[in-house]
A and B are shown apart, each in its own frame.
Chain A
């Protein structure tokens, strides 16, 4: 028990940080296998990968993982030779799960705490896009209690309730120069919450293949009273009163179909198709408690479309104590042409992953993962800001997880 507490405490410093607007870093074994897992019974991460599979898990679990993530983006303005790099800031998506049920009982309870959405980017206050964005730290922490029931030896279902804590901290420059020629600054910082749910079905087929189907609902996260801090030349201070702002963001629903194959006892193969319904994210609106002729409520069009990801992964049990994992995938960006912003310089992307699982003792797994993600370079002129140029992004994500099971 002391060990369990220790694991929990180790994770604490990483709470509250996340990266990449959608963050698929939900379990170290699953990351190693290219983020597949809807049709697998790997560990407690089934709480999020497929609540329907939780009841089929062979043991009880308590586990945690984190993935310090380095998001490296470069921008080259059209007609310029000056490349702009975002600052090296390490975001730390994390996940923690607990799954428990009496041996032989047809049900299990689970709880998950994870960060499926977030973003951390800092372009600094001198680049040409600073009036669109200087820095953004956005994260959503989902807390999900879950119940899963085995209906038959080959079929189980599950559902979870999601409580989301969302935080946003955004800064941008205001094009008002003072005598020192410095720009004005706006900072919007606040937190909010939202609710959602998820469901899943898991089935073992007669040919040995496993199937998982899950749905995570949209979670409308509302910030009702975030703080605004405006720094402008003194003569204009009355036009930019500090107060509060309201904003909301629909964190999209996702649907996943997963298949698992077991050609030999040493090999596990998985594919997942992931569909993200980003369509409700039509605009990012900020409503201020006090508006003036210079400070108006804003409505920035986003008009996201659906996103898809195709994932594949494999696990090879090299010895009784070690497992080698690898995988990869391709994601189709929800950001349409003309709507690419520095907050999410998004494009279609591919990624490759690798993982190593070690059985430290019979009850403790140590999982390591590494992911390299390449976001295709994309030349865009944003409709709203007219910021024109090319973004190119690489993401490096090492990860580490501990799973205690009994």
Chain B
């Protein structure tokens, strides 16, 4: 019994020491030479928190600007309001979610179509509260001075006080600069190249165009001059190489051919398909198009409907056969240009992106702004991967953890990494010490 009493004393002593946890001095967080009193974010879908092919509440809540703003609040940053969808309309524009994998391990997705935020077939329910996140999905730098842009882009119209079509003559640039601000992040310009690329380049009616380089430079100067006119400081991001995103790297001609051959073998069809036929540009300027067999240099969009491959083409309305040859497997019925970014188009996009980025860097440097080089960062991610807190990340589709199900926009974890890259650039440019986002708090793709 005497011993037992001793154990009690020892346990009591241990409990006492349990209270003495070692502590580590936290670094001195400060805003340096920047002022985060009112931080606004300027940009497109990436800035808005768009993910999985749509803008929805959960994505908005995990936008990189809101993460940055939260970190800034530790060093004098103000409140940060986003145009959040209401809980009742939390699925916003709708999005896609992963529902499982088929026997080949290919992902199966389904559209989320409930609790959407549309007030009519085109436009969304208006947002009327305070606003610091000005990210507008789809917007190009080319659009920032357009009056009535709200008539063209429902995501912008949603933020405006006026109602389309008559009262939306406010341009994006004047809208974001109406209220004073002290700090901004700007990640505009992606869509000036990405729109062309994700649409498979040119070669068909309705194809998107690359924004002229000189126009880009002049608008970028105008934008930055306006943003810094009242002394605000900020950070700009460059435009990624479109060929680093899983939207272009997941589906390949080799995979399509292997799939077609396997299907043919299973069905007992001989000879096996020898090639994938595509509509691709035939000159370096990508102005003339013709049919040829695909090579490994041709990029296929993630949106390519693989179910149509090898089948006769039918009219979507009447169901009548419009082309009897197997789609994509015969030169007489090649894959449409809109699904293929061929090497000429790739070179063209790369050239434009490189020019845009030169503009972004030089304008930012002239104004003493911080720069997050998204181009270099995502190229490194593709080439080398990235390890954060024990998680190995790549630019792979779904498995990579960074890109969401649309293959273009990021997962919450991807946006957290981007937020940290912005913060690093801001800290370095403005001698600040804004704390980092805890990336582990944000998930990658959600699995069923």
Contacts and interface: CB of A to CB of B under 8 A. Distances in A.
Contact of B390 (A81, A131, A176): A131
B26 A178 contact: no
Nearest to A175: B391
A130 B388 contact: no
A76 B438 CA distance: 11
A129 B443 contact: no
Contacts of B388: 386
Given A72-B21, A235-B98, A79 B3 contact: no
Interface in A133-150: none
Secondary structure dominating the interface of B:
mixed
Contacts of B18: 70, 72, 88
A132 B390 contact: yes
B270 interface: no
Contact of B74 (A81, A394, A396): A81
Q: For chain B, which range describes its interface: under 10, 10 to 19, 20 to 34, or 35 or more residues?
A: 35 or more
A352 to B, nearest CB: 14
A317 interface: no
A175 B442 CA distance: 10
Interface in A77-107: 77-83, 85, 88, 90
Contact of B389 (A88, A128, A377): A128
B444 interface: yes
B29 interface: yes
B24 A390 contact: yes
B20 A131 contact: no
B68 to A, nearest CB: 13
Contacts of B21: 72, 74, 85
B122 interface: no
Contacts of A177: 443-447
Interface string B414-448: 00000010010000000000011011110111111
Contacts of A396: 13-14, 17, 20
A76 B26 contact: yes
Contacts of A377: 22, 24
Interface residues of A, number: 52
B178 to A, nearest CB: 34
A68 interface: yes
Given A80-B438, A179-B446, A70 B14 contact: yes
A181 B389 contact: no
Contacts of B438: 77, 80, 82, 128
A394 B20 contact: yes
Contacts of B445: 177
Interface string B1-44: 00100110011011001101111101101000000000000000
B447 A392 contact: no
A157 B324 CA distance: 94
B100 A235 contact: yes
Interface in A344-380: 368, 377
Interface string A43-87: 000000000000000000000000010101111111111110100
B101 interface: yes
Interface in B57-112: 74, 98, 100-101
B387 interface: yes
Contact of A179 (B24, B74, B448): B448
A378 to B, nearest CB: 10
Contacts of A81: 26-27, 29, 74, 435
A37 to B, nearest CB: 22
A36 interface: no
B54 interface: no
B389 A76 contact: no
Interface string B141-154: 00000000000000
15 contacts: A79-B27, A79-B420, A81-B27, A82-B438, A90-B14, A128-B389, A128-B438, A128-B440, A128-B441, A175-B401, A175-B443, A178-B447, A235-B448, A385-B387, A396-B14
Interface of B: 3, 6-7, 10-11, 13-14, 17-18, 20-24, 26-27, 29, 74, 98, 100-101, 387-391, 399, 401, 413, 420, 423, 435-436, 438-441, 443-448
